[in-house]
Amino acid sequence: MALRMILVLLIVGLAEYYSFILVRSMLKTAPSVWRVSVMGVYLALTLLTWASFILFRQINWAGVPHLLRNIYIGFVLGFVVGKVLILLVMLIDDIRRLFTWLITFLAFRDAAPSGGTGGIQRSVFLNQAAIVLAGLSLSGFMLGIRNRYNYRVRKMKLPLAGLPEAFKGLKIVQISDIHTGSFDNHAAVAHGIERVLDQNADIIFFTGDLVNNQADEVDEKYQEIFSRLKAPLGVYSTLGNHDYGDYVQWPTPEAKIKNLDTLKDLHRKMGWKLMMNEHVVLERDNDKIAVIGIENWGAKAHFPKYGDMAKAYAGLPEKNIPIKILLSHDPSHWEAEIQKKYKDISLMLSGHTHGMQFGIDSKIFKWSPVQYLYKQWAGIYKEGDQHLYVNRGFGFLGYPGRLGILPEITVIELV
C-alpha cells in the first residue's frame, strides 16, 4: 500500500512539474500581461483541483447544485488526466533526448558538436501534441457529462449447451449498477426504463448497486419509475457492494442494519425478487432452468464476500436442471470461484466495473483503464461451456458522465 501511494505521488508530482514547464514554455513569447494572467489562472485552477481532493470528505457534495457539481467534477478529471497525458508525451521527449545525447557522446566524443535543429523541431512538435492531448482530455470529460443518460441497447444471441427446447429463444434483459444517488433527472431515467420495456423481455435481471450508499436515495418518484419494470417470468435482483452502506459512517450499527433492511424492502415494493443466496426454478412445458442469485462476492481484498454459493444451491435438484444462470454483482467471482467449483453454471451475469465510464468501446477494439484491475470488465467472456456477461452499468458513480463507455441495457437471447 505504501509503495502504491509513493508511486501515485511520484506520478502526480512529475505530471505537475512537466505541465508547469510546458505551460510556461508555451507562454514564453506571449506579451507580459497575457503571460502573467494565463499562468495565474493555471496555478489557481491547479490549487483548486488539489484542494478539492484534500478536502473531499469535508465538502458537502449533496448540497452543491447538480449542474455545478457535474461541471466541476468533469473539469477536474479532464484537468488531471490531461496533465498525466502531458507527462507521458514529455517523458517520451526527455527519453529521446537522453538517448540522442548518449549516442552523440559515445560516437562523437572527440568531434565538435553539430548545430542540427531536428531535435528542437521534434521537441516543438511533441510540446504541441501534449497541449492538444490535454485539451482533448479536458473537453472530452466535459462533453462526456452529456452521455450519462445516453443508454445503449446491446443485443446478442447466446448459444448454451443443453438448453431445453422450451427455453430456446428466451429473451433476457439485464441492467446493473443503477446508483440512484447519482441521478439528477427523473425524466431521463424514466426514458431509460422505457427502453428496457421496449425490449419485451421474458425475464429481467438487475445485478446490484441500486444505490451509492443509502436507501433514501430511491425517492418515491424513482420507486414509481423502477416499479414499471415487468416481465412474464418476473424481475430478479441482487445486491452489489454499494448497497450495504459500507462506505459511509453510520451513527450506530443499528442504523446501518436498518438502512439495508429498508433497501431490501424497496426491492419487494418495486416488484423485484431480491435473491439473497437463494435460487428459483423456472418451468416451461416440463422443462426447467434455474436462476441463482447471491449477495456481493468480490475476489479483490477490499470488496466484501457476503455471497454464499453453498447456501444458494441448497435444495436445488441439479440432475433435472441442465441450465443454471447466476446473478453475481462482481465479475471477479467468475474466475475466483465459479470456474473452479461450479462448472454447472452456464451463464453468470455481473456488473460492477462500469467499464470505468471511460475508454474505447468498438467492435474491433475495446480498452479501458479498468481492464488492468479486472480481466473481465465488459461484454461476453467464455471458458468451455461457461459464459460470463459483464454489463457496463445503467447509472454512473463519481464522474457524472460517460466518455466512450456508454450506459448499457443488455438483451441476451438464449439459443
DSSP readout, 248-273?
S--SSHHHHHHHHHHHHHHHHHTT-E
Closest CA to 272 of 288, 256, 291, 258: 291
What gap in Å lies between CA 334 and CA 302, rounded to an integer?
Answer: 17
**In Å, how far are 87, 154, 207 from 410, measured between CA atoms?**
38, 5, 12
- Grid coordinates belonging to 294: 447471491
The CATH code that applies to domain 152-414 is: 3.60.21.10
Does residue 144 sit in helix, strand or coil? helix
Query: Do 308 and 296 meet the contact criterion of CB atoms below 8 Å apart?
Result: no
Pairing relation of β-strands 287-293 and 278-284?
Answer: antiparallel
- Grid coordinates belonging to 415: 439459443
Return the bridge partners of 408, or none.
152
Starting at the earlier edge strand, list the strands of the sheet with 379-383: 278-284, 287-293, 324-327, 347-350, 386-390, 379-383
What gap in Å lies between CA 39 and CA 216, rounded to an integer?
Answer: 44
Does residue 178 sit in helix, strand or coil? coil
- Residue 387 region, left (φ>0) first, then alpha (ψ -120 to 50), else beta? beta
C-alpha angle 377/381/385, rounded to 5°? 150
Residues of the chain with pLDDT under 50: 115-119
**pLDDT score, position 3:** 83
Query: Do 357 and 368 meet the contact criterion of CB atoms below 8 Å apart?
Result: no
Strands of 32-176, DSSP E: 152-158, 171-175
- Grid coordinates belonging to 205: 435481471
Q: Domain ranges in the chain?
A: 2-145, 152-414
Query: Do 266 and 215 meet the contact criterion of CB atoms below 8 Å apart?
Result: yes
**pLDDT score, position 223:** 98
Q: What are phi and psi of 406, to 5 degrees?
A: -85, 155
DSSP for 86-154 reads: HHHHHHHHHHHHHHHHHHHHHH-TTSPPP---HHHHHHHHHHHHHHHHHHHHHHHHHHGGGGTT--EEE
Q: pTM value?
A: 0.90
**pLDDT score, position 121:** 66
- Grid coordinates belonging to 257: 442494519
